[in-house]
Amino acid sequence: MTKIPHDQLAKEFLQELLTPLGTVERSFEVPGEPRFIDVWFRPHPPFGITQPLTLLERITITPCSFECFHHPPSRQEIRDGLLKLLWVHSEEVRKDQSIVDDQLPMLWVLASSISQPILVEGKGEISPQWLPGIYFCGNLFKTVLVVIQELPQTEETLWLRILGSGKTQEQAVQEVLAMPETEPILDFS
């Protein structure tokens, strides 16, 4: 369990946002030396929603794990998240030998910023089907680095920008406070 305020906030925030969409487990334990995935998410069957309204909903159409960082994550912190994801993959395959690669969960590293050397070393590439600030690190490792400060300032990215820092986070909070209560994006039911 963590005592880092942003980490705790991110876990609680994602749990509240994702609970209507599926099963959420905070601090999901990985066997062996005690390791915990920040947030483990499995959508309610049938997987996904018909019309994702937000980037977070689009991300959670399939099972995934989230590792959240208020600071730029180090190489080792990203590797630790990947290690936990690979354990989950191993367990999924053990339970169901017929599972196809596309059904295995993704790791989404959510960080206010990520250093350019790490993006280069991780082979992070922006996909034309996704927004700027979202770097796919090849399909082999099923890892995506989300640089929150690079996300466009749109309603679609609002919930992730709240997990940012500095002006990015302040702007997102102001956007939420300015919304009427009837706004669909505020409906968590």
Rg (CA), the chain: 16
Strands 134-136 and 143-147: antiparallel
Q: Name the pTM for this structure.
A: 0.82
Q: Which H or E run includes 95? A: helix 75-95
Residue type, 153: Q
Contacts of 15 (CB under 8 A, 6+ apart): 24, 26, 39
Say if residues 57 and 18 touch (Cβ distance below 8 Å): no
Which residue, 125, 181, 185, is CA-closest to 157? 185
Query: What is residue 32's predicted lDDT score, i.e. its pLDDT?
Result: 67
Query: What is residue 7's predicted lDDT score, i.e. its pLDDT?
Result: 77
Q: What is the pLDDT along the chain (189 residues), one digit of tens a residue?
A: 446 677 788 888 888 888 888 888 887 777 666 678 899 998 887 654 566 678 998 999 889 999 999 999 999 999 999 999 999 999 889 999 898 988 899 999 999 999 999 999 999 999 999 999 999 998 889 999 999 999 999 999 999 999 999 999 999 999 999 988 877 666 665
Query: What is residue 153's predicted lDDT score, i.e. its pLDDT?
Result: 95
Q: 138 - beta bridge partners? A: none
Which residue, 53, 26, 34, 58, is CA-closest to 127? 58
Domain ranges (residues) in the chain:
5-186
Distance of CA 108 to the CA centre of its chain: 4
Residue type, 97: Q
Query: What is residue 1's predicted lDDT score, i.e. its pLDDT?
Result: 45
